[in-house]
Structure 1
């Protein structure tokens, strides 16, 4: 089935059930279908060809889902955009992906203005929640009662439906192109791993620009209700679980840590939870034990990438329960589980062969969840593929029972709070500070963020630096996710014999006493 047909399957079976609940109330499957239909027809009326890129730039909002469904119904390709990125990043990303339509939230009007100015082939830019100066409101843009209904284009399983942004060590945007086939394989995987005997209620805390948007499609044919939470405050999360009787939630480790530490945790009834999924960043083994004690046997971990979607491996609730109750296998709690139901995940040697048990190599995948390739970048695609395998850039090992352990990162990408940050990009900004002579940006261990973006700087002779001013300088150019949260001043950075700053040596300084290297 096409991905849009999974939504339509839910509409047919659960027309009056709430597909979403947010601060403005609920919206039924039938109402959502009608809204998505009008969006799709509006896209066709502007002559948008099939396979055109349609970007969504917004925090979590009900119209984000409506625009996703409308985009797919119109035969276009959905491009989610991280609204926390800088204007510069978002303009570069959407220009590279040949964006033709932009849906955006009113809070991001400045981004929309910059995108409109930079992309001359942009056919339309529409504000999803209200009319703002220079842009129509979605509700007005869609309405043309006199218009004749246009036929929807025929689509196939191998047609592209999404371009998900990733990157390399340079921080240059790369778009992983996914098809109906790769998304449906994710849906099949989630069906296998998350059995439900009644329609699930899904708390959406994570951004719909990331894994939550992929995950939610698997719940639509089962009549899933998606509760969109506008706050990541731990109490708000706990209140929502109790009030809406949430049965499944995905939380990044950062937020799980905050919930576990909150003094009001025991005040809330969390008995409706059947699955608490975590991933996107490594989770402390100690915190995993604590979470299992608090929430019960409902933890499930996924491991995947933008290039090969979630659940290339899985550590299931049953795995968690067995591991935490059996000292002989308790070491497995540090793993990301075994290959998922529709993926083969292995550790590979430099020669492209499957590594022996216990041998460290690069984690690689073979699955229909893989992207077809990077958008218009065959060289980058070929660089991560060999002998039918797609390589992750993560170093790991496999034990004799098939459990995969991620032990280090081959690439220097930082994962902070579940978001990807590329050191080279941040270093370019840091080096622009008038007091900085040289720098290395690394991820350092942090209980809240997993990795904290840290700038280690060597100052120009006679210069000094004001920490608050420096951090503000970086944030203004990079946005809150990528900007350093900490700056350390070293008298001299380590360098190679040819004078290159050794970022890995700097990073190792901070991780020397850690069990994990990420």
Structure 2
């Protein structure tokens, strides 16, 4: 039924699940769990407490904490009150967190001990803090909540009503608040029918709840009445044990997590036969790793390509298209994906261009930043609105999209366009290499020149010069690396994106 509904709210669906199966488990973390009846009642108390404190539909709260049952319940309870949620990364700098809290217009801040320490005194002083854990980070959640049995006033929501404000990762600059509407989240839920979500679903999530990566699987699981198991911190060995013990059916992992799991010598000793679907998004997922997952891990493998801003999605059903693992798949149903050149003109089929997309799941805009919103919009000849991704790609004859690189990451050296991903593929093929990132740095002679940062496999002693000479022997003259640096670990965001800006800064300091 969900798949055919034009619009509904996740909060209302939870009420239905609570009525039908109040004792079935909905949320689990390392220390706690909630069944559907308890979750529904707690959401009512959260919603009523927000309304008591004067928050109305369209207002916002901020949550800055590790993933937990209480985090999820507060997020869902806010939605029942029509209050938008700004989930913030505790790993951000205190100054950045303060700016995000202020930008969101958050009326309340929900934290745990770790996040409170990260925020420090930099957060706006007038905002009240509520502690999601048993710490003294703020007013105790239990003391803040209205009494058990309290019901909130009903709120009427539209597809355009703000659902959450997701702040961009900041891998390319100052984070921007991406306002997503209830309609966008409902589009993700409707898509979930295809991936066998239901009351028997057990979804294991080890990526943080402040990330859109996590939420695109979290909300469909909840909407279809499944159980979400929250793992606050990813550890490959612990993940495999938990997946086996909980008989997990669905999961979302970023490529670096797949890499660490598949590299474990005991991976094949675990019984993962309960899996139906595994998902990935957020960062490049190389074809060889996808092939390894398909060969050794039961269940389908789905890669989503898109942006938190929305504007269209490509989906690769890797288990159905093993010959297309180098691509990110085909445009999803309802997504209009096109390629445009530097002048904003659509490119002919077979040529590369910047990926732009349109769908029902597009952000309303960047919060309080209309100029930034206009920068990422592209309109076709009919006035149809698209969102620019900043990625460069090309469609093949079968309509599958191959990505080359972020437009901003493309290196222009001596007038030639160099895609770092091409160079990374070559370097990664050396048996000594576990991980690699290539960035462009200023060059007086060429304008820009490529530099590689390489993580060697454990125990390998291949030296820098050997790797550099081997790599350049495989590359064309205009592609050759100027330098190759050995590094213990690539800097990554919490969802696995390589922080290339940090690498550039390290190189030019």
TM-score by length of 2: 0.77
Report how far residue 8 of structure 1 moved.
Answer: 2.6
CA contact (8 A) 2:64 2:109 kept: yes
Shift of 1:91: 1.1
CA distance in 2, matches of 1:346, 1:63: 41
Q: Is 1:295 the counterpart of 2:292 in the alignment? A: no
Between the aligned partners of 2:301 and 2:193, the Cα distance in structure 1 is 16
CA gap 1:85/1:441 in 2 versus in 1, 3 angstroms: farther
Gaps of 5+ in 2: 1-7, 380-384, 411-419, 422-438, 440-447, 458-484
Counterpart-to-counterpart distance in 2, 1:482 and 1:323: 30
Closer, same or farther: CA 197–212 of 1 in aligned 2, 3 Å: closer
Per-residue deviation, residues 367-387 of structure 1 (Å, max 9, x unmatched): 011101111111111111121
**What does 1:22-421 correspond to in 2, within 5 Å?**
22-116=29-123, 118-120=124-126, 122=127, 124-132=128-136, 135-144=138-147, 151-166=153-168, 171-192=173-194, 194-196=195-197, 199-210=200-211, 211-296=213-298, 298-308=300-310, 312-316=313-317, 320-324=318-322, 330=323, 332-387=324-379, 388-412=385-409
Displacement of 1:482 after TM fit?
Answer: 6.0
Alpha-carbon RMSD = 3.5
Q: CA shift at 1:334, angstroms?
A: 0.8
Q: Cα offset for 1:51? A: 1.2
CA deviation map 1:305-363 (0-9, x unaligned): 11017x701011xxx23543xxxxx3x21110000123122222334343222211010
| Whole-angstrom CA distance in 1 between matches of 2:30 and 2:409 | 39
Counterpart check, 1:7 vs 2:52: no
Q: After TM superposition, list the pairs within 5 Å mapping 1:410-449 onto structure 2.
A: 410-412=407-409, 444=453
1:453-502 Cα distance to aligned partner (Å, 9 max, x none): xxxxxxxxxxxxxx9xxx9xx99xxxx99698879987xx6xxxxxxx9x
Counterpart contact for 1:75–1:152, Cα < 8 Å: no
CA–CA distance in structure 2, aligned partners of residues 275 and 148 of structure 1: 38
Alignment partners' CA distance in 1, 2:328 and 2:41:
41
Aligned residues of 1:79 and 1:164 also touching (Cα < 8 A): yes
Normalising to structure 1: TM-score of the pair? 0.75
Distance 2:451 2:19 in 1: 50
Q: Which runs of 5+ in 1 are unaligned?
A: 325-329, 416-422, 424-438, 449-466, 494-500, 502-518
Change (3 A) 1:106 1:169: closer
Provide the rounded CA distance (Å) in 2 between the counterparts of 1:489 and 1:205: 30
Q: CA separation of 1:150/1:183 partners in 2, compared to 1, >3 Å: closer, same or farther?
A: closer
| Structure 1 residue 177: Cα displacement | 0.7
Kept in 1, the 8 Å contact 2:340–2:355? The answer is: yes
Number of corresponding residues = 431
8 A Cα contact 1:346 1:398, kept in partner: no
Q: 1:273 to 1:306 in 2, by over 3 A?
A: same
Give 3-state SS (helix, strand or coil) of 2:388's partner: strand
Q: Distance in 1 between matches of 2:451 and 2:86?
A: 29
Quote the residue 1:430 is aligned against: none
Residue 18 of structure 1 is matched in structure 2 by 25
Q: Which runs of 4+ in 1 moved over 3 A?
A: 147-150, 167-170, 350-354, 412-415, 439-448, 480-490
Tell me, yes or no, if the aligned pair for 2:315 and 2:332 is still in contact at 8 Å.
Answer: yes
Q: Secondary structure at the match of 1:300?
A: strand
Give the C-alpha shift of residue 296 in structure 1: 4.1
- From the superposition, tell whether residues 197 and 63 of structure 1 become closer, same or farther in structure 2 (CA, over 3 Å): closer
Aligned equivalents of 1:181, 1:276: Cα separation in 2:
25
CA spacing shift, 1:76–1:445, aligned 2, 3 Å: farther
Matched-pair contact (CA < 8 Å) for 1:17–1:223:
no
The structure with higher relative contact order (CA 8 Å, sep 6+) is 1
**Residue aligned with 2:168, SS:** strand
Q: Does the Cα contact within 8 Å between 1:254 and 1:447 map onto a contact in 2?
A: no
Distance 1:164 1:485, change over 3 A: closer
